[in-house]
Amino acid sequence: MRLLWLGAGIPVLGAVLTALVLQLLSLEGESEPGPAATASGASSAGGPSTQPFAVTARQEDEAGCTALPRRVSAPSDRAELVSGGDVHAVVRRNQGARVGELTVGFTLEGGDRSLTVTSIDIEPKSPRAAAPLAGTLLCEPGAGGEPKIQLFADMDSPDPVFLTGGTSTRRYFKENVITLAPGEQVNLTATFVAEKGSREFGLVLRYVRNGKSGKAPVPAPHRGRYAVTGYAPRYGAVYEGSSGGGYRRVEDPRPCPGAPAAQGC
């Protein structure tokens, strides 16, 4: 399976639902993550937090493709695309999902007491992936950079978990935990991959503080949702982005140029 790009489409998380890339993990026998996410969804800047910790999420690797389940028909949505307006709002309204790979950066920030993050669970909204989204494809130009450390998850699996590599079978949180000192920040990057279908999911962070277990949801970036999808053979409409920010409609209904060669492009 492969990793999905953070984009649109409610996809088949059919490849490797990828990984939380952990940067800055260097305790003896323990790993510490890189970019982090906020379980509360709000920034913890401006003073000590009364919450156990804060987690914020941001979308990485902006270049790529997003798929929507239907053709964009509302005049307001088409205007946003052509003018390069709030494309994230169009994706939210139309329940879109990133195609191929969804990469999210997270920042964890400790509260007033130390705690240990024991796992970040992936909770699919359905037992199996659905068909790839095939309504509208939106592709941005350019390419994103590769994070230094990654965790991977196969979203085609009925029970996806974070692994230590794209081809690994080792569960990251089976061997590692993340310790947060008061006020400490830890960054992680997670890549979710889908090749065969589409899938929506949630993330739940589990931790232990003062001997007591707790859990907190990890909000998605852009006030949206976590979703990834594989490429469809054809789309109802395909839009290609430009460096100026706007999108233009292209005639070819195939997922070009963003799709792999296997799609016949």
The pLDDT profile of the chain, 265 residues, written as one tens digit per residue, is 333 333 333 333 333 333 333 333 333 333 333 333 344 333 333 444 457 888 888 887 667 899 999 999 899 999 989 888 888 899 999 999 999 889 898 888 988 889 999 999 999 999 999 999 999 999 886 544 443 346 788 888 889 999 887 677 888 888 888 888 998 888 888 889 999 899 999 999 999 998 899 999 999 988 889 999 999 989 999 998 876 678 888 888 877 655 665 555 5
- Residue 173, phi then psi, degrees to nearest 5: -80, 5
Is the whole model's pTM more than 0.75, yes or no? no
**Predicted pLDDT of residue 32:** 33
Non-local CB neighbours of 167 within 8 Å, separated by 6+ positions: none
What distance in Å separates the CA atoms of residue 139 and residue 255, rounded to the nearest whole number?
Answer: 9
What is residue 204's predicted lDDT score, i.e. its pLDDT?
Answer: 95
Q: β-strands 20-22, 101-110: how paired?
A: unpaired
Q: Which amino acid is at 26?
A: S
Q: What is the pLDDT of residue 143?
A: 42
> What pLDDT sits at residue 10?
34
Instruction: Identify the pLDDT of residue 47.
Output: 44
Q: What are phi and psi of 82, to 5 degrees?
A: -65, -35
Joined together, the tokens standing for residue 54 give: 């804060």
Q: Using CA atoms in the order 128, 132, 137, 140, what is the torsion angle rounded to 10 degrees?
A: 60
At 243 the pLDDT is 64
pLDDT at 94: 95
Q: So what's the pLDDT on residue 205?
A: 93
- Long-range CB contacts for residues 161-166, cutoff 8 Å, separation at least 24: 161/121, 161/122, 162/19, 162/20, 162/120, 162/122, 162/190, 163/16, 163/19, 164/19, 165/19, 166/2, 166/3, 166/16, 166/18, 166/19, 166/193
Eight-state DSSP code of residue 231: P
User: What pLDDT score does 38 carry?
Assistant: 42
Length of the chain: 265
Which pLDDT does position 22 carry in this prediction?
Answer: 32
CA atoms of 172 and 198, how far apart (whole Å): 24
